[in-house]
Amino acid sequence: MSRNLLIVDDDAIWLQRVARAMEGLGYVVHCADSLAQARACGRDIKPDYAVIDMRLGDGNGLDLVAEFRDLNKDMRIVMLTGYGNITTAVAAVKRGAVDYLAKPADADEINDALCAAPDGCAAPPENPMSADRVRWEHIQRVFELCERNVSETARRLSMHRRTLQRILAKRAPK
């Protein structure tokens, strides 16, 4: 099997960082930042592997899973999301994804998921993020989605505005 990998994510900075890391692991990486671009790439290159973000600017990454499996029944697909829950994880696996990872997953976690035995699953990470770090990452993502509006972010997180300001002023936990 060749090592063609398609990464689909609308977060340009994360996409660039992971693409470089996956190239370092021996993949031929192709990137797309939307459903439309991913569909075109999928038809043109017929990748062997795909890493797809759940929420994209023009739709839901879950829609790509079945489409990509139709293009290449042996394709190994990993879903990524910053908003993980059991329902979407089950939906992704039922549609053909081999694994479901929470963002921000690193290249080693993604590679482990892509290369795991078909009847097994990837080994748990050696140094998983702490609960405080996961919370901080989630708050930062919602803050960015709210266009850095503290009041709107606090409302969406059901948090007092001043508490949110204190959290945002601190460094990221380890």
Query: What's 131-169's CATH class?
Result: mainly alpha
- Just give the CATH number of 4-115: 3.40.50.2300
Residue 60 has a pLDDT of 84
Q: Domain extents for the chain?
A: 4-115, 131-169
pLDDT at 170: 86
Q: What integer pLDDT is reported at residue 97 of this predicted model?
A: 86
What pTM did the predictor assign?
0.68
Q: Which residues of the chain fall short of a pLDDT of 70?
A: 1, 83-86, 117-127
Burial of 100 by CB count in 10 Å (0-12 exposed, 13-18 middle, 19+ buried)? buried
Query: What distance in Å separates the CA atoms of residue 1 and residue 69, rounded to the nearest whole number?
Result: 16
Query: Mind listing the pLDDT tens digit for each residue in 127-144?
Result: 677 788 778 878 888 888
The pLDDT, as a whole number, for residue 27 is 92
Which residue intervals of the chain are DSSP H helices?
Answer: 12-24, 35-45, 62-71, 86-95, 107-115, 131-145, 150-156, 161-169
Q: What is the pLDDT of residue 85?
A: 62
pLDDT at 95: 84
Distance of CA 13 to the CA centre of its chain: 13
Q: Please report, for the chain, how many H helices and E strands are present, in that order.
A: 8, 7
Q: CB-based contacts of 148: which residues, under 8 Å, 6+ apart?
A: none
pLDDT (0 to 100) of residue 20: 92
Residues 6 or more apart whose Cβ sits within 8 Å of residue 166: none
User: What is the reported pLDDT for 57?
Assistant: 81
What pLDDT score does 8 carry? 92
Angle formed by the axes of helices 107-115 and 12-24, nearest 10°: 60
Residue 156 is predicted with a pLDDT of 95
